[in-house]
Structure 1
Amino acid sequence: MRYEILGPLRIREGNKHSTINAQKVEIVLTVLLIRADQLVSLEQLMREIWGEDLPRRATAGLHVYISQLRKFLKLPGVAGNPVETRAPGYVLHKGDDTIDAQEFPELVDVGRSLLREKRYDEAASCFAEALALWRGPILGQGGNGTVANGPIVDGFATWLNEIRLECQEMLVECRLQLGRHREAVGMLYALTAENPMCEAFYRQLMLALYRSERQADALKVYQSVRKTLNDELGLEPGRPLQDLQRAILSGDTHLMAPPPPLAMSGS
């Protein structure tokens, strides 16, 4: 079985997907998946469902949701259930099942190591595979990778979103190192629109445009980010962006794309 929470929650068994229609049961399963193989207390689960304002029969309500979840996860002909009662709460045993939200940071870690070794093509494939797991924010809520739930779901979603931003930045870096600057331009325009305060994406976009013989467009990007930062925060762009603008204005040849790596013959 495969649990997918990088987007609207769904469970895949073979070629079939199933979803939970009850929002509170969805929240319970999401929390147990985030803490897979770890104890989650009754108090933690109730806070994720109701926040600080608990209803009178919150404990009884939680027991009902756990019962519904167990029925949903019960597989025909399989003994036992992945959700175990363990004082003072519950544990979801992953066993041989997989969780996309665990695979994602693992893929990013592998890609990061490959990038450090300058194995750009392999790293880019790893980052692209990781990003392909994303279908939207956890529980399908919010537009910026965070959700208005309790601290476990909200904190986990924020952590994953930061890793996703880093993954996107590293994927672009690989493409720039491989000389795929024209390929990176479209992706970077989308990333700067989605993350208007992230200067790293603007820097990469300026560099990709300059290497694509679009010096004027690269300088327009600088003016755009400068206006955004001034209007929103009263700040000037950081030193890396300022240095890049000056280098583009002076036609610095060091900004040109690095030569493609030589193919290594087998020994």
Structure 2
Amino acid sequence: MVPIDQLITEIWGEDPPRRAIAGLHVYVSQIRKFLRRPGQSESPVLTRPPGYVLRLGPDRLDFHCFERLVCEGRDQLRERRYQQATATFESALDLWRDPSLDDVCHGPILEGFQTWLKEARLECVEMLTDSRLMLGRHRELVSDLYQLTTEHPLREALHRQLMLALYRCGRRADALHVYQAARKTLNEELGLEPCRALQDMQRAILTSDDRLELHVPA
């Protein structure tokens, strides 16, 4: 249940108009008409004092479908079922139509939800990349990972994945250059050294660690 006061703040901020409650009732009425299906007696938007509730069945919202698919893919990745995990993560990302929620006004609730959505999508992309790397698809990942690290320069997991993909393509020098560039960015932007996983990847590349070689599951 979302209280009326919270909805008013979400729509109009800290300085709402005098007839904000009446305006909110108009908006709710319009949403009810929009969401009501033919033959349906009740709208999924319900009045529950002191506010409103949106009641929907399972998988009626695409982000619920996304969450379910990501959970399934994470389990498959953990169980080393990389083909299935790849297909599941791809299905989850197919639900996206970027940019999300950019065509609506943002209050504090929606702002937080949009941040969560972007983070959830990036985590899905990272897990999909891990599963593709385990399937030996490193060559097709390089260009995408270069773009992703440019868009998200502080995302260390993406740099680590790019380094591994380059190394497996025989581009050892390029992989080490990615590390140096990431380290420089982290130092300049945050005053931090790379995380342990990124440092371990650099050391493994410098020593040509056998664990970096691809071992495709049977």
Could you state the TM-score of these two structures normalised by the residue count of structure 2?
A: 0.91
Asked whether 1:242 is paired with 2:199, we answer yes
Distance verdict in 2 for CA 1:210–1:89, change over 3 Å: same
Kindly indicate whether the alpha-carbon contact (under 8 Å) linking 2:59 and 2:65 is maintained by their aligned counterparts in 1: no
Q: Is the 8 A contact 1:137 1:157 kept in 2?
A: no
Shift of 1:206: 0.3
SS at match of 1:261: coil
> 1:140 deviation in Å?
2.1
1:148–1:154: 8 Å Cα contact kept in structure 2? no
Q: 1:157 aligns with which of 104, 114, 123?
A: 114
Instruction: Summarize the alignment of residues 1-267 of structure 1 with structure 2, pairs less than 5 Å apart.
Output: 39-95=1-57, 98-141=60-103, 149-258=106-215, 260-262=216-218
Amino acid at match of 1:226: R
Shift of 1:77: 4.2
CA 1:227 to 1:47, structure 2 compared with 1: closer, same or farther past 3 Å? same
CA separation of 1:56 and 1:224: change in aligned 2, threshold 3 A: same
Residue type matched to 1:202 in 2?
H
**How big is the alpha-carbon RMSD for the aligned residues of Structure 1 and Structure 2?**
1.9
Question: 1:137 and 1:48, CA in 2 relative to 1: closer, same or farther beyond 3 A?
Answer: farther
Cα distance, 1:200–1:97 mapped onto 2, change above 3 Å: closer
Structure number with greater CO (CA < 8 Å, separation at least 6) is 1
Q: Following TM superposition, by how much is the alpha carbon of 1:251 offset from its aligned partner in structure 2, in angstroms? A: 2.2
Q: Which has the higher helix share?
A: 2
Aligned residues with identical type, % of pairs? 61
1:153-193 Cα shifts (integer Å, max 9, x gaps)? 22222222222221111111111111111122122112211
Q: Which runs of 5+ in 1 are unaligned?
A: 1-38, 142-146, 263-267
Q: CA shift at 1:75, angstroms?
A: 3.6
Count of residue pairs the alignment pairs up = 218
| Structure 1 residues 149 and 174: CA distance shift in structure 2, 3 A | same
Q: Is the 8 A contact 1:108 1:126 kept in 2?
A: yes
CA displacement 1:130-164 (0-9 Å, x = unmatched): 111111244225xxxxx872332222222222222
Distance in 2, Cα, partners of 1:96 & 1:175: 30
C-alpha separation in 2, matches of 1:82 and 1:192: 41
Partners of 1:181 and 1:97 in 2: CA distance: 33
Q: What's the offset of the Cα at 1:215?
A: 0.9
Unaligned runs of 5+ in 2: none
